[in-house]
Amino acid sequence: MPNFVTDLTQEESLRQRNTLNLIASENYPSPKCLDLTGSQWSLKYGEGYPGKRYYAGNNLVDELELFVMQKALEVFKAQDEYGVNLQVLSGSVANSLVYLSCLQPQDKILSLSLADGGHLSHMHDTSSWNKFFEHQTYGLTQIGERDWQIDLGEYEAKIAEFKPKLVIVGFSSYPKKFDFVPMCQIAHQHGAMVLADIAHISGLVASGLHSTPFGYGVDGADFVATTTHKTLRGPRGAMLFAKNYRPDYASSLPDKPLIDIVNRTVFPGLLGGPNFAQIASVGQCLLEVLGSEQYPDKLTFGEYSQRVLTNTKLLEKTLKSLGQNIVSPTETHLCLIELKDTYDSLHIQQELESIGVIVNRNTIPGDKKTAWKPSGLRFGMPALTSRGISEDQIVELANIINETIENLSAKHILIERVHNITNKLNWWYDKNISTEETFDLLDDIKFE
Ligand code: DSN
């Protein structure tokens, strides 16, 4: 008897296996991580925190949550100054929980504008939080013909003029590195708290390949939110860190550690039972980052993260050499190109999808077009790096992308060329053979 749900699940698995995924916010967690998301842990309710639950039967979830909290703090070297909440479910929810923790109605939030690379959950015109908070944005400054970055002078001027209570530092589509410390210091000097949203870059931060908002005493971020499924390569989920003391500039808050205020806001303030399957899977991901567990390709997490950066640079360099316009030189896991003015980014995204290349259209700094049909395309390399893409395959992929954008080649030939790549990439999830066997079978192909 056909089962629509299981058949569709199998189809989605095949779709993922047979396409080239360049979505910068997606990745392929280890099979162990993925298995844990559907594990027995998901059946247990446990409102509250370790040692203080409202239901019985929580001795093991207590152990689990405490262990994963400890690993989360260890990964980001944050043990001395921060606590962490693992119950926040998603990045957008984590950001909202910060607003609810530290702001009162009509308080002001400042964040990077959406067009320049900010995120929807950092307020913006469409956010439901506009009912409760005031919001303004800072932007990027053009420093070269094809180079945009945060200008600290303008950032400070905006803070001085708007006087926000919370400044958000951390972005969704920003290809350059930036330093958290000066951005936090400036905000603090003007009496504002800082939320660092490291959702996109948390894997790079954990590997020491991007500046960190942790470890700078009072000059670090007050709250740090991250998702767990992007460069960190865990399951869909999030974590929220907060200082374990109240800094002077946060004197509008009760005189308590910021993490205590966050914990109270998460439960019983807003959320119900935590998803322990998600927490267990995040635990597996953190063990892989720390090196006590291995991703099936057997690279260390640091080696993987370095490859993400190298691969993104190579993709960008090749696209540029083929005549595509880069927005800013990439220093991270993603690059952005600006399409020619008459091109339709939605149509090009769909054309790429039709040959098996999965990307997203994106606004670019100063974009005059709409968010539905913006001027740019965004490419990220975390997912394909997890599948072991080689340098030659990246060059071929850039050529395929360029030929699709410029309408240079027949579709059936492009489809075959994509297939030639996907066929040889690692795929870790086949259920009928063990992970180890999958690796052995694909190892020869990967390095041929
Ligand atoms: N929507 C995600 C992204 O692609 O950047 C972030 O949540």
Q: Which amino acid is at 306?
A: Q
Domain with CATH 3.90.1150.10 in the chain: 4-26+297-444
- Asked if residue 66 has pLDDT above 70, the reply is yes
Give the largest CA-CA distance in the chain: 66
139 CB less than 6 Å from ligand 1?
A: no
Q: What is the mean pLDDT of the chain?
A: 95
Which residue in the list 26, 45, 293, 430 is annotated as catalytic?
45
User: For residue 360, which atom of ligand 1 is closest to its CA?
Assistant: 4
172 CB less than 6 Å from ligand 1?
A: yes
- Asked if residue 434 has pLDDT above 80, the reply is no
Return the pLDDT at 350.
Answer: 98
**What is the arithmetic mean of pLDDT over 223-243?**
98
CA dihedral 121, 123, 125, 131 (to 10 degrees): 110
User: Does residue 356 contact residue 422 with C-beta atoms inside 8 Å?
Assistant: yes
**What is the arithmetic mean of pLDDT over 223-237?**
98
Q: Is 230 a catalytic residue?
A: yes
Q: Is 417 a catalytic residue?
A: no
Return the pLDDT at 444.
Answer: 42
| CATH among 3.40.120.10, 3.90.1150.10, 3.30.1150.10, 3.40.190.10 for 4-26+297-444 | 3.90.1150.10
Query: Among 326, 329, 317, which residue's Cα sits nearest to residue 375?
Result: 326
- Asked if residue 446 has pLDDT above 70, the reply is no
The protein residue whose alpha carbon is closest to atom 3 in ligand 1 is: 25
**What is the arithmetic mean of pLDDT over 22-42?**
98
**What is the arithmetic mean of pLDDT over 73-86?**
98
- Asked if residue 24 has pLDDT above 80, the reply is yes
CATH architecture of 33-290: 3-Layer(aba) Sandwich (3.40)
**What is the arithmetic mean of pLDDT over 55-81?**
97
- Rounded CA separation 394/376 (Å): 20
Return the pLDDT at 430.
Answer: 75
User: For residue 24, which atom of ligand 1 is closest to its CA?
Assistant: 4
Return the pLDDT at 431.
Answer: 56
The protein residue whose alpha carbon is closest to atom 1 in ligand 1 is: 25
Q: Is 343 a catalytic residue?
A: no
Sheet holding 238-243, edge to edge: 82-85, 238-243, 223-227, 193-197, 166-169, 108-112, 134-138
Q: Which pair of tokens denotes residue 90? A: 């998603």
Query: What pTM does this model have?
Result: 0.94
User: For residue 121, which atom of ligand 1 is closest to its CA?
Assistant: 7
Provide, rounded to the nearest whole percent, the portion of the chain with pLDDT above 90: 94
Per-residue pLDDT tens over the stretch 312-330: 999 999 999 999 999 999 9
Q: Is 370 a catalytic residue?
A: no
Q: Is 15 a catalytic residue?
A: no
Element (H, E) at 144: strand 140-144
φ/ψ of 328, rounded to 5, equals -150, 150
**What is the arithmetic mean of pLDDT over 293-318?**
98
Domain with CATH 3.40.640.10 in the chain: 33-290
- Asked if residue 432 has pLDDT above 70, the reply is no
Q: Which pair of tokens denotes residue 280? A: 């267990």
Rounded to 5°, the CA angle 78-79-83 comes to 85
User: Does residue 71 contact residue 255 with C-beta atoms inside 8 Å?
Assistant: no
Per-residue pLDDT tens over the stretch 159-199: 999 999 999 999 999 999 999 999 999 999 999 999 999 99
The protein residue whose alpha carbon is closest to atom 5 in ligand 1 is: 172
85 CB less than 6 Å from ligand 1?
A: no
